[in-house]
Amino acid sequence: MDRLPITRILIVDDEPALREGLAETVSDLGHCPVLAASGAEALARVAADPAIAAVLLDLRMPGDLDGMAVLKRLRSGPRPPPVAVLTAYASAENTIEAMRLGAYDHLTKPVGRAELAGLLGGMLALPADAAPDASAPAGPSALIGSSEAMRRVQKAVGLAADSDATVLLQGETGTGKEVAARALHAYGRRQAGPFVPVNCAAIPADLLESELFGHLRGAFTGATSDRTGAFREADGGTLFLDEIGDMPPSMQAKILRALQERVVTPVGGRPAPVDVRVVAATHRDLPRLVAEGGFRQDLFYRLNVVPITLPPLRERLADILALAEHFLCWSGAGQKRLGPEAAAALMRYPWPGNVRELRNVIERAAVLARGAVIGAEDLGLRDPGPPGEAPGAEGFLPAWLHGDLPGAVARLEEAMIRRALRASGGNRARAAKSLGIQRQLLYAKIERYGLRDAAMSGNQTDDVANPDGPPLA
């Protein structure tokens, strides 16, 4: 395998086993690892060593300087190195904030060898000042989810939040496009300004122009007073144009002009400039609408500056229970909680209505469940099919995935480790490499699942001098 040029990589982590494991992989990739056990030590090393080319930064560290504070200070320097945040506790909030503060990427531990090689390759290919400058932190977001599909959305929101570029949110009905729009506003530099949502499909065509651009008194029959209009109401903030794919053709040309020139003309009035960031959303296939003549091509290009696609819930299995717990917490249900049968039912269901349907189901169950534990029967879900049915278009799960999510993940993890140990003849170094994880993490998993006999049944790891480390997750 071709190695990258030798460079100095700073690894910041307060856990010795993880720090040394990363250092071993970085060294094996042909780089020189530099270690720091705290945020203060990391800043001191960067200040003293201008040859540090990239930083791998843990998020949770003791003391006043956690990973986010270190990231902000590093990115505010005159020639900041690229920084990747690595954490075992990824959330929507810290993902968006890290990307907004200038992180190159935000990854969840453990990071495999191939992923780390790709990460370092991308970071080292950047010019020294490629990442954006930091600015003040923003408010919280409701973009809940730790699945890879949702983390891509969170990262895109963090990167786009401070920009004034038009964002086009796409996705099925109920996937949370307005939630993403509000997160773009809440985390951006316009957060102190207004957020004005307009549903273009819910307003009659003959009233939409007045709703968006305003009108003067007497401009038409029924105009008994002046109306500001959504564009000017959102001045200094964000205008959210929901379901823009359903906008009548007569309005599309006027919206295009407003987006291009940042000038609006009230009905019966004169043009007036506006300072507004526009976020649009649709569940429609806009390229197909353009091809069919139902949507202006030039308007599509003007909207599609920063496209972000919200994944359907059936592609976010890892997020279903987290979302359910969140909705249950905000339902006012007191101490009610989901039982294991209810959790399994939520995981089996295909969710055609996406997150909106999940929220409605949880709110209904919170009201109707008589006991403290919500059972499967309280959810009122239709039966998606018999256990063991193969995955298909309706989102059915294989039999081994039935039960709660932690149990399914543990069963998969144990099975993969057993297979890797068998394939390597018990050589744990080779097993770890085939699994794409660090050896220290594999040792911890062997202890956790009681697989020491499986690990000892074949050849010992000849090139590992360190004893098995403590559990890391």
Q: Are 182 and 310 in contact (CB under 8 A)?
A: no
Strand partners, 52: 8
Question: Residues with Cβ < 8 Å from 1, sequence gap 6 or more?
Answer: none
What does the block give as tokens for 53? 């080319």
- Residue length of the chain: 473
> Of 405, 322, 386, whose CA–CA distance to 145 is shortest?
322
Q: Are 375 and 430 members of one domain?
A: no
pLDDT tens digits for 160-191?
999 999 999 999 999 999 999 999 999 999 99
Residue 132, in any domain of the structure: no
Residues spanned by the domain of 101: 8-124
Query: How far apart, in whole angstroms, are the C-alpha atoms of residue 324 and residue 331?
Result: 10
Q: Are 305 and 318 members of one domain?
A: no
First to last CA, the chain: 30
Dihedral over alpha carbons 90, 94, 95, 100 (to 10 degrees): -170
Q: How many domains does the chain have?
A: 4
pLDDT tens digits for 73-131?
998 877 889 999 998 888 888 899 999 999 999 998 888 888 899 999 888 887 654 44
% pLDDT > 90, the chain: 45
Strand partners, 87: 108
Out of 124, 158, 184, pick the residue that ends a domain.
Answer: 124
Phi first, then psi, for residue 158 (nearest 5°) are: -60, -40
Out of 63, 92, 124, pick the residue that ends a domain.
Answer: 124
Q: Is the dihedral of CA 46, 7, 82, 56 positive or negative?
A: negative
Say how many C-beta atoms besides its own lie within 10 A of residue 115's C-beta: 13
Which of 15-19, 219-223, 281-285, 384-388 is predicted least confidently? 384-388
| CATH label of the domain that carries residue 94 | 3.40.50.2300
pLDDT tens digits for 319-358?
898 899 888 887 776 678 888 888 889 988 999 999 999 9
Is the pLDDT reported for residue 472 higher than 80? no
pLDDT at 454: 60
Q: Are 436 and 294 members of one domain?
A: no
What is the DSSP code string of 268-307? Answer: TS--EE---EEEEEESS-HHHHHHHTSS-HHHHHHHTTEE
Q: Are 1 and 46 in contact (CB under 8 A)?
A: no
pLDDT at 405: 63
| CATH label of the domain that carries residue 318 | 1.10.8.60
Average pLDDT over all residues of the chain: 83
Phi first, then psi, for residue 111 (nearest 5°) are: -105, 120
Q: Are 243 and 381 members of one domain?
A: no
> Of 181, 196, 192, whose CA–CA distance to 264 is shortest?
196
pLDDT at 471: 36
**What is the SS3 assignment for 59?**
coil
